[in-house]
Amino acid sequence: MLAADGTPLKQSLNRALRRQKLRALLLIAPLLIFVLVTFIAPIGDMLFRSVENDIVADTLPHTVAALAGWNAESGTPPEEPVYRALASDLMVAVAEKTHTQLGTRLNYEDSGFSSLLRGTGRDVDNMGEDVTKALVAVDPVWDEPATWTSLLGDPAWITAQANWAKAGDKSPEPPFVLSTAAQQSLPATSAAYGDFARVMQTVKNDSPTEKRPWNLVAVGLTEDLRTNPAAADAFGPEWQPRLAAIVAAEQAGAIPTTGFAAAFAESDKAWATARPWSVIKVFSPRFTSGYFLNAVDLKMTPEGIAPRADSERVYIMLFLRTMVLSLAITGTCILLGYPVAWLLANLQPRTANLLMILVLLPFWTSLLVRTSAWKVLLQQQGVINDLLVWSSLVADSNRLVLINNQTGTIIAMTHILLPFMILPLYSVMKTIPPSYLRAAKSLGATDWTAFWRVYFPQSIPGIGAGSILVFILAIGYYITPELVGGAKGVFISNRIAYHIGTSLNWGLAAALGSLLLIVVLVLYWVYDRIVGIDNVKLG
């Protein structure tokens, strides 16, 4: 079938519809973009932190590479080159102040790692000091920073640097470049010196021509010359005697062979065991399941996934507590809200409106004010206890503990969430014609049967809507449990807030948050299967 302009009718219909759809999309575009930019994107970014683990590979690149060949399950610490790699990584990390962050990160997985890295970070500067001293003893020229730049620097860089120094302007020094000769014949020296020069220029705002290089550079040089005594051939004639002197001293045994393994073990004996190394190795990939495992009280070890120590197992317990308390709150909301909603739906409009204002008034009051009011009411010297003591229901010495425990959380949250139960119930009950009840009664039903068999089934969609609202709000509640829950009445959300604000373990907070989101979605799905989301009515 063809349209008037000769195109197939289906096609021209589609085109017209597409235009309409596009217009609709344009209309909702502001809101859609707003939600994407301010809600979905930040949440996505935050949740991504639960698997992101760049810090280990970024902070310890050499160590991670060196550990690749080490078997974490062997139970023996790795070989000397790994210790050397860690020393060079730590020198950079200490200068950039990233070793403390790494320590904090690995401390999540193995308690004590933070102090280990901080302590070793203070000592690493002195490791290999004896080699530098021996080198200076051979020839004092090695104590001059400029010696090193002219040995290892690219000729073009040396010229550029000299021009820059002459100009004396405020522009930054040209970034240091290693010469090809140095890189080829003195690889260990070049690697260490390259790191050193970069850190000096970018972090410390110093020139490598003015600072004595790290001990690692001296260690690298002696090692390069030991493995390749002919390395001096690659350099100009002025270097031949200097490097030859080192080779000679080396052969005479005047240069100590530093054991970084021994130096690390001296700094902290933990380094002489396999444990810290296996932690680094296990958590070196850029993505980790560590945070999620932690969120369900498990941890990753070289042997696989294992449960955490008893004293560290809290999250499953907190998740369960959150569920149970939220269910209890939903239950009390139904019990208290149902009669109120029924009254609202069945009274004269004028009285009902007055009652409705009473329901809505707390709804409009600040959450913090209401919670603080409960603090005043519930505390041991508070209004409720005073009344009970005054009426002799409770002895003065035996006042009820209604706050800073789970009771406090349930009471305060029931009050705060009650309107979310009453309002959907009310709007559903409003639609149930009173004539049904009258009809049931005229057919001989008792009051109870008329209610239970006729009225109640029709109000179930309201209960469903109210319960789902209250339960989902309760499960993620934070401020009220924090203020009235004490130590035992807090939810998983309080723990998430703690990790965001105080412990700064954002990865774990993101993992716990993701789990909470998944739990809510699963519950929603289960609810849909059992009750059916179509049966939920908000009015």
Partner 1 sequence: MKLKSLLSATALAMLPLGGSMAFAEDLPPCDNCSDEMVLMSWGGAYQASQVAAYAEPYAKLTGVKVTWDEGSNEAIAKMRAASEAGNMTYSLVDVEGPDSQRACDEGLAEEIDFDKDLAAGADGTPASKDFGAAMINECFVPQIVFSTTFGYRTDVKEWNGKVPEDLCAIFDLETFPGMRALEKRPKKNLEWALLCDGVPKEELYTVLSSEGGVDRALAKLDTIKDQVVWWSAGAETPQLLADGEVVMGSTYNGRLFSAIVEQNQPIAMLWDWQVFDFDGWVVPKGQDEAQKNRVMHFLNFATDTQRLADQAKYISYGPARASSQPLVSKHATLGIDMAPYMPTNPANQKNYLVNNIEWWADNQDAVEVAFQNWLSK
Residues found near partner 1 in the complex (CB under 8 A): 96-98, 100-101, 103-104, 107-108, 111-112, 114-115, 118-119, 311-312, 314, 317-318, 379-382, 397, 404, 486-488, 490, 495, 498, 500-504
Q: Which is nearer to partner 1, 93 or 181 (CB)?
A: 93
Q: Judged by CB, which is closer to partner 1: 111, or 159?
A: 111
Q: Exposed, middle or buried by CB within 10 Å (0-12, 13-18, 19+), for 139?
A: middle
> Which whole-number Å values give the CA distances from 13 to 6, 134, 477, in the listed order?
13, 88, 50
Measure the CA–CA gap between 262 and 384, rounded to whole angstroms. Answer: 67
Q: Are 102 and 59 in contact (CB under 8 A)?
A: yes
Q: How far is the CB of 403 from partner 1 (least distance, A)?
A: 8
Nearer to partner 1, 311 or 435 (CB): 311
Are residues 475 and 323 in contact, defined by beta-carbon separation less than 8 angstroms? yes
Smallest distance from partner 1 to CB 487, Å: 5
Q: End-to-end alpha-carbon separation of the chain, Å?
A: 46
Instruction: Give the shortest CB-79-to-partner 1 separation in angstroms.
Output: 28
Tokens 């009902």 locate to: 352
Q: What whole-number distance in Å separates Cα of residue 210 and Cα of residue 199? A: 13
Q: Supply the minimum distance, in Å, between the C-beta of residue 308 and partner 1.
A: 10
> Angle, to 10 degrees, between the axis of helix 80-96 and the axis of helix 113-123?
90
Q: Residue 114 Cβ, how far from partner 1 at the closest point, in Å?
A: 4
Instruction: Say how many residues make up the chain.
Output: 539
State the nearest-atom distance from the C-beta of 512 to partner 1, in Å: 13
Instruction: Write down the residue that tokens 């530098």 correspond to.
Output: 132
Q: Minimum distance from CB of 162 to partner 1 (Å)? A: 30
Looking at the Cβ atoms of 183 and 405, the one nearer to partner 1 is 405
State CA 280 to chain mean position distance: 19
Closest CB to partner 1 among residues 171, 397: 397
The distance of closest approach from Cβ of residue 265 to partner 1 in the complex, given in angstroms and rounded to an integer, is 18
Nearer residue to partner 1 within complex by CB, 106 or 221: 106
Q: How far is the CB of 538 from partner 1 (least distance, A)?
A: 36
Would you put residue 460 in left (φ > 0), alpha (ψ -120 to 50) or beta?
alpha
Closest CA to 213 of 262, 152, 166, 156: 152
**In the bound complex, what is the minimum distance in angstroms from residue 283's beta carbon to partner 1?**
15
Minimum CB distance to partner 1 smaller for 308 or for 441: 308
Measured from the CB atom, the residue of 103 and 128 that comes closer to partner 1 is: 103
Smallest distance, Å, CB 247 to partner 1? 41
Q: Which two tokens stand for residue 418?
A: 């009650």
Closer of 120 and 222 to partner 1 (Cβ):
120
- Name 69's Cβ contacts closer than 8 Å, sequence gap at least 6: none
User: Which residue, 218 or 508, has its beta carbon nearer to partner 1?
Assistant: 508
Nearer to partner 1, 114 or 190 (CB): 114
∠ CA 84-90-91, rounded to 5°: 95
The distance of closest approach from Cβ of residue 276 to partner 1 in the complex, given in angstroms and rounded to an integer, is: 14
- Dihedral, CA of residue 153, residue 159, residue 163 and residue 166, to nearest 10: 70
Torsion of CA 375, 377, 380, 385, to 10 degrees: -170
Check: CB of residue 472 under 8 Å from CB of residue 421. no
Question: Is the CB of 53 or the CB of 379 nearer to partner 1?
Answer: 379
Q: How many CB atoms lie within 10 A of CB 329?
A: 27
Cα–Cα distance, 453 to 440 (Å, whole number): 9
| Cβ partners under 8 Å of residue 102, min gap 6 | 55, 56, 59, 60, 93, 117
